[in-house]
């Protein structure tokens, strides 16, 4: 069982290519979400274990950045603290 990586979320991920729960998937800009889906599919389909692991670990970082950016975009500027992404 894998949980949604959003810090305020405890939803379980559903589906082989899911990397966020549906609620948080749609907070991402659509272009960014599509890029992450392509990377997730590439990682899932890779026949080589080491390449798959590498892509999955890259994806974890990209998803964290995308979530932080989406949260910051929703937060008024005067409430942001040290947001560098
Ligand atoms: Zn979520």
Asked if residue 78 belongs to a domain, the reply is no
Asked if residue 38 belongs to a domain, the reply is yes
The per-residue pLDDT string of the chain (85 residues; one tens digit each, 9 = 90 and over) reads 899 999 999 999 998 889 999 999 999 999 999 999 999 999 999 999 999 999 999 999 999 999 999 999 987 767 766 555 5
CA–centroid distance, residue 82 to ligand 1 (Å): 23
**Whole-number Å distance between alpha carbons of 52 and 49:** 5
What's the pTM?
0.80
Asked if residue 83 belongs to a domain, the reply is no
Domain residues for the domain of 42 are: 1-73
Count of structural domains, the chain:
1
Return the structure tokens found at 12: 């379980």
Using CA atoms of 38, 44, 48, 51 in order, give the dihedral in degrees to the nearest 10: 50
CA–centroid distance, residue 26 to ligand 1 (Å): 10
Asked if residue 65 belongs to a domain, the reply is yes
Asked if residue 16 belongs to a domain, the reply is yes
Return the structure tokens found at 51: 């390449």
CA–centroid distance, residue 38 to ligand 1 (Å): 19
Asked if residue 79 belongs to a domain, the reply is no
Orientation angle between helical segments 30-45 and 49-74, nearest 10 degrees: 160
Asked if residue 20 belongs to a domain, the reply is yes
**Whole-number Å distance between alpha carbons of 33 and 36:** 5
Asked if residue 62 belongs to a domain, the reply is yes
């Amino acid at each position: 069982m894998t949980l949604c990586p959003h810090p305020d979320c405890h939803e379980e991920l559903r589906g082989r290519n899911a990397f966020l729960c549906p609620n948080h998937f749609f907070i991402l800009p659509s272009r960014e979400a599509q890029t992450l889906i392509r990377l997730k599919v590439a990682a899932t389909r890779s026949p080589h274990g080491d390449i798959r692991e590498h892509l999955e670990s890259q994806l974890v970082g990209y998803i964290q950045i995308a979530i932080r950016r989406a949260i910051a975009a929703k937060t008024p500027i005067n409430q942001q603290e040290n947001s560098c992404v």
